[in-house]
A and B are shown apart, each in its own frame.
Chain A
């Protein structure tokens, strides 16, 4: 039953500062922040106010549209700040650690022997539900839906991404518990998509009661949307749930230990990190705690990878879905005649307009400069080379720009997520903010069709 998929389009952008497969000294976090802005389309309603004491697993806020979807605190402590932005939109909920590590308890048990409703209830109450996202729209899954399949990606192909196998090594039992819970939620198959570029870790290879697919090829092979498109594409009116294998471990812990243990191992990588390594920390952790002394000057700190991550301060917080902190040079210097091909500045380019093509395997040190200005959407064929779906990326993006929902539907808007366009955005000659366009279009389609 398992499928072997070979992705041909795409590219691995090799960056300096790959995390060494070693654990840095563990440090406990001083505070955590949960950012409602990590969840597209979410309207949060607070369950706490400043000064409230919470345990790990106590709700901080919930989804106004589906109030069963709770967002819970990863640690025990006190709610110290609720930061709001324009129109009082909630940006951050901060919990200061009290160091006692007390947990809310949830119903423990083997998912195999639990009813679907019980599993749903445990996942929703413990706060692991938001790990499950859905296609279409790339938003948190609706627990009322029954998806036609669930896809779990077991690797990340983005630049400087953590090795999931290294992190999950030896936790095959937890993974299995999590996968067992997921199989109860769908009428179809649970797909575990492992990498075909290297040997996948035993924890993934030995998974049972799921369909294991092998995906090989360059980035974005690790994007679950790309995998899904090649294994079992989604059609209009269908719903598929997606998540990543490391989050399945957290779900497994809820059922095995009866608590929301949000601790996670992340890669701290990038050329501005003195010693790039793996760090054991927790969801929403203050990155300043482990970046202190390890971060060089003039860095841009990113929660996530350099293609899809969020720019945070050097004492910012780890995003909900991120297993990676990246620090790259901040950039910001104008370059004299930087547009000249083949001359002067040795900018990296996927096109052959810079000598970097002679040395494709060299690790590059790219900064955050745009390297040009936004221009009209002139296509030089880059999108097609980097977008491994049977979809016309340029025409889809154009239909998104002029908001033609019918055309978007026809061109495959239900299959895509912003992250699938990240490489296109990277290579775009016209410096279009492609991911933003896709996100806004998905929000629009969701609003208009629901």
Chain B
């Protein structure tokens, strides 16, 4: 390690040199390899060992189960579509084939997301001459997990550039953005290329090799898509929704994989349990309200647990609503924020057939409302202080 440290110090480019981007890239690499030995100058002399890098890495780790399951499921859905295995054969002798097929499809998306996003970040770091910040470590992993597997690479790249520049850098970079960057990417894709983001052709890779053909009556529609079209008889069982061998965005299908991530986030205290719980409560209550008003509408009558296990609700609840930058920052505000997201997600999903899934819009609306919610909470504290002056 000493040798590596020496080597890195030797190749260090000047920060005010001809190529500021070279320094930005060097700095990003060096601080990834080593936590610099800077010591405290003013203020405290000791510091906690946690830093933003560790915080972000933990979220990335929490996403790994979703990524692995997503990779496998992409392969599974593909082989299902061409009839090489039965839907009940979750783990058959095609295990490695499924996994490799999935990896071939998913890893390029991960590489594009990180490559393009970090590239933009490095350029901005060089322009602003500040060290690269870690925010995109998480966004870069979230983005491939919330898109359909068949998304064209160029579209993904354009969306990432859009999201990083207009969603984040124009506001001042990491920590300053109003909207969750990964969701801005998804919203951009959703509205700019709707045909590639919805319908029943995009969720499963059905590129056929020679001699392959889709099975009869194949439909790649997601449960959400079916529900929005009123096709309720093909609804998977609760078990299937929880385990996640269903078509959908790459990382969102398995509640179990998401749950593993949630456990890590809650245990380390990185994500707010208040937001997770209140979002769940909001969604659950909204489902109950729909249940009561359902009549003969089967989608509205769906049981809350079933409803919440479906689509992107769980994924959004664990990984997106809890974003500390774009969410509310006051503890009481977190309750309001979560409940708002939960209600909106189910409301948009069930009541608006144009949007098969409501979580993305719900969280984006929640992000926009977060400063307002905090403002109200903080004002109550201010009023209390002013009242104290008057009574004293």
Contacts and interface: CB of A to CB of B under 8 A. Distances in A.
Interface of A: 13, 15, 159, 233, 235-238, 300, 302, 306-309, 311, 326, 328, 330-341, 345, 347-354, 356, 366-373, 375-381, 384, 390-392, 394-395, 410-412, 418, 422, 425-431, 433-436
B206 interface: no
Interface string B36-60: 1111111111111111111101100
Contacts of A341: 54, 57-58, 61, 268
Contact of A380 (B34, B55, B388, B389): B55
A376 B37 contact: no
Contacts of B176: 376
A330 B172 CA distance: 34
A332 B37 CA distance: 4
Contact of B48 (A339, A345, A426): A426
Interface stretch (B102-110, B226-234, B378-386): B378-386
A235 B174 contact: no
B53 A336 contact: no
A378 B325 contact: yes
Given A307-B44, A380-B324, A370 B39 contact: yes
Given A334-B36, A391-B381, 7 more contacts: A235-B389, A302-B45, A337-B32, A395-B374, A410-B385, A429-B52, A430-B175
B34 A328 contact: no
B324 A371 contact: no
Given A353-B268, A411-B381, A337 B47 contact: no
Contact of B384 (A236, A376, A390): A390
Nearest to A384: B331
15 contacts: A332-B38, A336-B5, A348-B49, A351-B50, A352-B268, A369-B47, A376-B173, A391-B381, A411-B381, A426-B44, A426-B47, A431-B47, A431-B52, A433-B43, A436-B43
A319 B37 CA distance: 27
Q: How large is the interface on B (under 10, 10 to 19, 20 to 34, 35 or more residues)?
A: 35 or more
Given A369-B38, A411-B381, A379 B329 contact: yes
Contact of B134 (A375, A379, A431): A375
Which 4 pairs from chain A and chain B are nearest by CB?
A372-B51, A376-B175, A347-B49, A338-B35
B272 A353 contact: no
Contact of A372 (B44, B52, B175): B52
B175 A349 contact: no
A352 B324 contact: no
A88 to B, nearest CB: 22
Contact of A369 (B37, B54, B374, B385): B37
Contacts of A237: 389
B270 interface: yes
B217 interface: no
Contacts of A371: 35, 47-51
A351 B48 contact: yes
B37 A375 contact: no
B52 A435 contact: no
A378 B136 CA distance: 13
Given A352-B268, A395-B378, A425-B43, A339 B325 contact: no
Residue of B4, B5, B50 with most partner-chain A CB within 10 A: B50
B58 to A, nearest CB: 5
A405 to B, nearest CB: 14
Interface string B1-15: 100110000000000
B269 interface: yes
B267 interface: yes
A339 B47 CA distance: 13
